[in-house]
Structure 1
Amino acid sequence: MKVKVQKQERERVLTLLIMIVFCVIVLLLPVCGSVPLAGWVQSPGHPRGYDPDSSLTWKECAPTGHKITLTLIHLDLEESLECEDDSLKVFADDELLFNLCGRKSMKELQASINPFLHSFPGGCLSVSFLADYSNPERHTGFRGFYAIQDFDECKDPDNECTQLCNNYIGGYRCFCRPGYILDPDKHTCQVSCNEDRKGSREGVLISPGWPEPYPENAMCSYTLAVEEGLQFELTFTGVFDVEMKENGQCTDSLTIKPLSGDARTFCGRDLPPFFLTRSQHVEIIFRTDHQGANRGFSLSYRVREMNCAGPVTPTSSLISQHSDSKYPTGHKVKVKCDNGYVLKLKESAEVEYETTCQKNGEWSPVIPCEPVDCGSPELPELVELSEKDPPTTYLKQISFKCKSQYYQLDKTGNFICNAEGNWVSESGQTLTEDLPKCEPVCGMNTDVSFGGRVFGGKPASLGQIPWQLFHKSSPRGGASLISDYWALTAAHVVDGYEETTMNWLGGLIDGQDTNAVTMETEKIIIHPNYKRVGKGKPNNFDNDIALIKMSARVTLGPNIRPVCLPKKTDEPVAEGTISGFGGVKGGKMSRHLLYGLVQTYPLEMCVSGGLPVTHNMFCAGGSSVDSCKGDSGSPLFFPSLGYGSPDKPYRLTGIVSWGPSDCGNESFKGYYTKVQNYLDWIKETIEKN
């Protein structure tokens, strides 16, 4: 009995000590027990022991600025693996802190459990006790003391007080050292260094603490202002030392912000240059961060009369008797646009106007000078700009190209917009004087295999001889396309048909091809020196050449392309290729386009059969290869088929004219009109028609 009394006495003493400690430490209210800020929580039946299937749930929350703690002074529960049978679970803000069972002494609880039984500020603690269905021996349960305590926010590194912190029951307050004021955010201490110097005409501005290092978290604003017509002159003196990062960015900064114009920001150790603000009102802002030991700045200011600087606008100059580069208020000058520029918002192409320097240091009126615009050029057919919607103002460049790959410009297609608003070429000529044209690419064909030896010839592939034209009906004959409008043939083929319309076929190799392109003639022009005695029956074959103009532009493509004319300087051709839909062995007309390689000979080596031979002809033939009836007007071209290239295009050397009736007889050669002798007539005739 004596032992039991001593045990109860010890518990009462321990409880009293805990209450005293709580009241001394917490001091939440003037009278400690006037509100339920502390109390006990224990298992059912404690200390006699808890029954099977007994349970307890408890939860308390702390107000803002406080936390709730729990001190366990007794723990005696049935021991089990992971406390599966009986358990005491303690939670802080719904997070499990401990799952307890078994016996622990007060010393063990104080050392390993109680220091962690507390909530976050303004949080909650909760307890869940649960006993299972059996209790082999009696266990007294648990008992704990809870208390709501003030939380010391000043010990929290996240409270954001930049200088000093004062904790009070339920909260905290930031305050500053002498010389600083608390920012409206209630956490940041700033230097009070704002100065309004309106009306002051001269003076010195220095950073806080100068010449000692300036304080942290400074936000200083200095205002300078005088009457209209004056401006401030700023001069930095002595040391300039404002913190800057290694990459050149400003950590701290000094910003000079005039009423008009751009603000300028300085940092580092280079002394800023003297400058005029060009403003009667200037704000100087000095900002520092929370650390550093830099010395700051010192600058002097004074006022000067406002003036205006030139030029008034870019791309212009001033016309004035005033020799200085600064102009006093009230001074008038003329503004003249630079060469290639005109006044904006003016209907005419004016280039100058008068303006006056105002008291605020600005010119009025101000009319910008804008570049002359040459406009988008009118383009001839088949020509287009290399760039879509290019700029068209002064000194901008444009270039031309042909819309189709089967054409090429006849001259350089680069032009520049000049000061007069004209597009001029590299040679200095205007666009109207030097307008490029798209001319057909001549003498090129589709790459195909070649070889062989239109009598005795080989069938041509489509696109292999794309300049070959064919007149299928009477008179049967051929022609050569030399542009997208004109073709060349023998005069005797079209003799007598000048006033009629002839239909020529192109883009074919089969005379019965229904997909062939039909070209209708507009004009047939026979050489004026060609002598005739009747339709298709010439007195002789001298000047046997004629031009055909089509009624519409021929659409060029891989299967219809012109052949090049020869050059006046070309040497005599040793060999070339002939083509046509003329006679073959047996006297029949060929359905297919045939070609063959022939060799040219001096006229004295050829037999004429009694007809006159002139220097406007040449003869050619080959081994079992010859032009024949029905080939008249068809081409003889060089180099030999298969050997043409962009650097060596195919050129029309001759036109099938006349020859013996016995085609392919090696004793006789065919005669061809020498195209080289008619280049001037061809050019002049095309230009006139």
Structure 2
Amino acid sequence: MIVIFVCVLLVQVCGSVPLAGWVQSPGYPFGYDPHATLTWKHCAAPGHTLMLSFFHLDLEDSEQCENDVVKVFAGNVLLTKLCGRMSAQHLLSSVNPLLRSSSGGCLSLSFEADFSNPERHTGFRAFYKEQDVDECWVHEPECSHFCHNYIGGYTCSCKPGYYLSEDQHTCSANCTEELFGEGVLTPVGSPGPYLENSFCTYTLAVQEGQQLVLSFVGEFDVESRDGQCIDTLTIKTDSAVFGPFCGQTAPPKISTGAQRVQIFFHTDQGGTNTGFTLSYRAKPMQCPGNVTANSILAPQRSQYTPGDTVTVQCVTGHSLESTLQQTFESTCQKSGRWSPVRYCEPIDCGPPNFSDLIVLTEEDPVTTYNHNISVKCLSEYYELIGDANFICDASGTWVSEKAQTKPLCLPVCGKNTAFSSGRIFGGRKAQPEELPWHLLIKEPQRGGASLISDQWAVTAAHVVDRYESDTLIFYGGITDGMDRNAVLMESEKIIIHPGFEKRKPEQDHTNYDNDIALVKMSARVSLGPNIRPVCLPNKTNSLPEQTARLSMEGKMGTISGFGGRSETLTKARYLQYGHVIEYSEVPCFPNNLKVTDNMFCAGGKSKEVDSCKGDSGGPLVVPAVGSGSPNTRHQLKGIVSWGPSICGNEHNKGYYTKVENYLDWIMETMQKN
């Protein structure tokens, strides 16, 4: 029966090609003919290797065997190339040991002779045979414990206490166990070395209302190397993980606070370490001295017994789950857990509610309690007034670090990008960016205005008093009145100073006192290098009679406009400007019109520089454009108001509304509207 069983196992081998045989050159041993060839191939059965041994070799000799040659391959790999004469001893010692296939592999041979030989050669003869591979010798590491060889293959087996894994090579320890109550736990293999290649899971449990307390007693020896765990011991509960532990220092006593504990012990394939002894016992369950993070308890103790009730209060800067509530009550349960449990989350101030001109310096910052943000203005044409840094306080409000009011972004006033050095006393054509605050009114009558913020302009009252209820269009950002790229601004409100003389449409003005009006635009102006506001003058404490004489404080100013350049012209295509000084001691224009402290007289030193018809409402700014430095800020000192009918008179100059007399009215009107 045993023989029949073996034949059944070997039927595939016995019934296939021969296990051994000869291969030789054509005509051997009498010699081979010119151009003789031979090809041969043989493959070993699974679990076997094929060996080829040459016993005779007599071929024509040539350099690198380029004439007659026999080649042997293992698969596609050339094992040897032979020619000439070799003794049987030489073949046995240096050639034949190389001619072996892999397990289940193939050997092939090719022979080629050239067209002639100087003498006759007998050829070659070789013997092939299949031999069983001892996989247990060759593949010994593949079996964890024992290897058993048989003809055509091998099998693995394990020591007692282990089982063969699905890969049929690895032996793993079977050490899963559930334990209840109190006792002592040691790994499989104790008191000797614990089992290798194991993944043991021990489940410990006690009755409800109790918790497990773990203590390591005696020697602790879990494999480690260079401070790194090779084998690991890990303890887990539903709410905590202890470990992994290894080395020779026992962990401290562990009060798990849990009714059920899992212990995972994982080992590798080597080592002689002895393991550990773990004592586990039960004690009454207790709840920890913390219900939820970021909170304090009243009464405060380190441990609580089932049935105890506490008041949980969130610490400063935290509230219950994004509400403003700060406290709740919780009771210790038999399971050692608190119920109910609510979470104290950091108070979130959310995105800051500042002006749309203010942006954060950091994208998507953290906005919860005690975190900081910083802000800046939307563009370089605005400047930040107030603190730029804020912190989220406990009430959920962004608070300035310096306890200041909310920040404001106000337009940068009085600056122009184009800057020309020196002073020019004659009128000249303005360059782009040189007078960016100047606005043009084309219809119904030509006039000028000055931009004083990103939504407000100021002009002379007599230019707009007849159109107070109408919508006017203002043109900005241009020096060419025909420029199609002008910034168009539509008025929303026109507010005439209440002290300005009212007149009927067909009447002329008899008094230009309080000749000032404010215009609110329907939308915020998009500021840029070509359009930006002029500064209002600084408020002083001077007496009226002093300010009347010192309105321009001895400075030279600049007037600008699209008005006429001669007696016959009422408008010009290009924006012109010129430099003027104040005349305070002599009459500028002797006539019957009343001159008040709300006006001042100014003009050029030559008759060529003067405001004219069509310039009304335009600005007079100090210091003069082109003087000072690129950082100089220009102030609006006057508004073109009235003067002689003939422009450019050497002795008669124009009158301007004194802007500093109206600062309170300007500020109050802008705030209310």
Normalised-by-shorter TM-score class: 0.7 to 0.9
Aligned counterpart, 1:312: 291
Query: One-letter code of the match for 2:343?
Result: P
Deviation at 1:376, TM superposition (A): 5.4
Question: Is 1:252 the counterpart of 2:231 in the alignment?
Answer: yes
Deviation at 1:256, TM superposition (A): 1.9
List aligned pairs for 1:291-302, cutoff 5 A: 296-302=275-281
What CA deviation, in whole Å up to 9, does each residue of 1:321-344 have, x standing for no partner?
4x5322223444444444554444
Distance 1:646 1:331, change over 3 A: farther
Gaps of 5+ in 1: 1-27
Question: Is this contact kept in 2: 1:456–1:585, CA < 8 A?
Answer: no
- The structure 2 residue matched to 1:510, chosen from 480, 483, 487, is 480
Question: Is 1:328 the counterpart of 2:299 in the alignment?
Answer: no
Gaps of 5+ in 2: 1-8, 542-551
Aligned counterpart, 1:638: 622
Aligned counterpart, 1:24: none
- The structure 1 residue matched to 2:333, chosen from 345, 350, 358, is 358
Query: One-letter code of the match for 2:306?
Result: T
Question: Is this contact kept in 2: 1:532–1:539, CA < 8 A?
Answer: no
Deviation at 1:651, TM superposition (A): 1.0
- The structure 2 residue matched to 1:273, chosen from 235, 240, 252, is 252
In the alignment, the residues of structure 2 paired with residue 370 and residue 43 of structure 1 have an alpha-carbon distance, to the nearest angstrom, of 91
What CA deviation, in whole Å up to 9, does each residue of 1:154-205 have, x standing for no partner?
4426643456655444344556789987666554566x58373612414364
Greater Cα shift, 348-357 or 574-583: 348-357
Q: 3-state SS of the aligned residue for 1:604?
A: coil
Query: One-letter code of the match for 2:665?
Result: W
Q: 3-state SS of the aligned residue for 1:600?
A: strand
Question: Is this contact kept in 1: 2:415–2:632, CA < 8 A?
Answer: no
Query: One-letter code of the match for 2:605?
Result: S
Question: Is 1:224 the counterpart of 2:204 in the alignment?
Answer: yes
List aligned pairs for 1:33-48, cutoff 5 A: 36-44=18-26, 46-48=28-30
What CA deviation, in whole Å up to 9, does each residue of 1:300-336 have, x standing for no partner?
43322222224333234444x4x53222234444444
Question: Is this contact kept in 1: 2:199–2:267, CA < 8 A?
Answer: yes
Deviation at 1:458, TM superposition (A): 0.9
In the alignment, the residues of structure 2 paired with residue 400 and residue 40 of structure 1 have an alpha-carbon distance, to the nearest angstrom, of 94
In the alignment, the residues of structure 1 paired with residue 465 and residue 89 of structure 2 have an alpha-carbon distance, to the nearest angstrom, of 135
Aligned counterpart, 2:611: 628
Query: One-letter code of the match for 1:125?
Result: L
Question: Is 1:203 the counterpart of 2:184 in the alignment?
Answer: yes
Aligned counterpart, 1:459: 429
What CA deviation, in whole Å up to 9, does each residue of 1:274-312 have, x standing for no partner?
322233333333334455676654544332222222433
Deviation at 1:683, TM superposition (A): 1.7
Question: Is this contact kept in 2: 1:205–1:300, CA < 8 A?
Answer: no
In the alignment, the residues of structure 2 paired with residue 512 and residue 34 of structure 1 have an alpha-carbon distance, to the nearest angstrom, of 107
Distance 1:172 1:349, change over 3 A: same
List aligned pairs for 1:577-596, cutoff 5 A: 577-584=558-565, 588-589=569-570, 591=572, 592-596=574-578
In the alignment, the residues of structure 2 paired with residue 473 and residue 216 of structure 1 have an alpha-carbon distance, to the nearest angstrom, of 99
Question: Is this contact kept in 2: 1:207–1:297, CA < 8 A?
Answer: no
What CA deviation, in whole Å up to 9, does each residue of 1:255-279 have, x standing for no partner?
2233553353123455533322233
- The structure 1 residue matched to 2:44, chosen from 57, 62, 75, is 62
Cα-Cα RMSD: 4.3
In the alignment, the residues of structure 1 paired with residue 535 and residue 623 of structure 2 have an alpha-carbon distance, to the nearest angstrom, of 11
Question: Is this contact kept in 2: 1:43–1:56, CA < 8 A?
Answer: yes
Question: Is this contact kept in 2: 1:79–1:102, CA < 8 A?
Answer: yes
Question: Is this contact kept in 1: 2:423–2:627, CA < 8 A?
Answer: no
Question: Is 1:561 the counterpart of 2:532 in the alignment?
Answer: yes
Query: One-letter code of the match for 1:357?
Result: C
Question: Is 1:576 the counterpart of 2:557 in the alignment?
Answer: yes
In the alignment, the residues of structure 2 paired with residue 656 and residue 34 of structure 1 have an alpha-carbon distance, to the nearest angstrom, of 122
In the alignment, the residues of structure 2 paired with residue 215 and residue 181 of structure 1 have an alpha-carbon distance, to the nearest angstrom, of 12
TM-score relative to the length of structure 1? 0.78
What CA deviation, in whole Å up to 9, does each residue of 1:202-226 have, x standing for no partner?
436479566x876765655544333
Question: Is this contact kept in 2: 1:355–1:366, CA < 8 A?
Answer: yes
Question: Is 1:675 the counterpart of 2:659 in the alignment?
Answer: yes
Question: Is this contact kept in 2: 1:253–1:286, CA < 8 A?
Answer: yes
Matched pairs, number: 646
Greater Cα shift, 494-503 or 324-333: 494-503
Greater Cα shift, 516-525 or 620-629: 516-525
Query: One-letter code of the match for 2:230?
Result: T
Greater Cα shift, 159-168 or 250-259: 159-168
Distance 1:449 1:152, change over 3 A: same
Aligned counterpart, 1:20: none
In the alignment, the residues of structure 2 paired with residue 34 and residue 424 of structure 1 have an alpha-carbon distance, to the nearest angstrom, of 94
Deviation at 1:679, TM superposition (A): 0.8
Aligned counterpart, 1:440: 411
Aligned counterpart, 1:74: 56
Query: One-letter code of the match for 1:596?
Result: G
Question: Is this contact kept in 2: 1:63–1:122, CA < 8 A?
Answer: yes
Distance 1:558 1:151, change over 3 A: same
In the alignment, the residues of structure 2 paired with residue 108 and residue 499 of structure 1 have an alpha-carbon distance, to the nearest angstrom, of 123
In the alignment, the residues of structure 2 paired with residue 548 and residue 422 of structure 1 have an alpha-carbon distance, to the nearest angstrom, of 36
Deviation at 1:652, TM superposition (A): 0.4
Question: Is 1:367 the counterpart of 2:351 in the alignment?
Answer: no
In the alignment, the residues of structure 1 paired with residue 93 and residue 350 of structure 2 have an alpha-carbon distance, to the nearest angstrom, of 92
Query: One-letter code of the match for 1:562?
Result: P
In the alignment, the residues of structure 1 paired with residue 60 and residue 444 of structure 2 have an alpha-carbon distance, to the nearest angstrom, of 127
Aligned counterpart, 2:243: 264
In the alignment, the residues of structure 2 paired with residue 218 and residue 616 of structure 1 have an alpha-carbon distance, to the nearest angstrom, of 101
Distance 1:645 1:226, change over 3 A: farther
Query: Share of identical aligned residues, percent?
Result: 54
Question: Is this contact kept in 1: 2:161–2:174, CA < 8 A?
Answer: no
TM-score relative to the length of structure 2? 0.79
Query: One-letter code of the match for 1:657?
Result: S
Aligned counterpart, 2:3: none
Q: 3-state SS of the aligned residue for 1:232?
A: strand
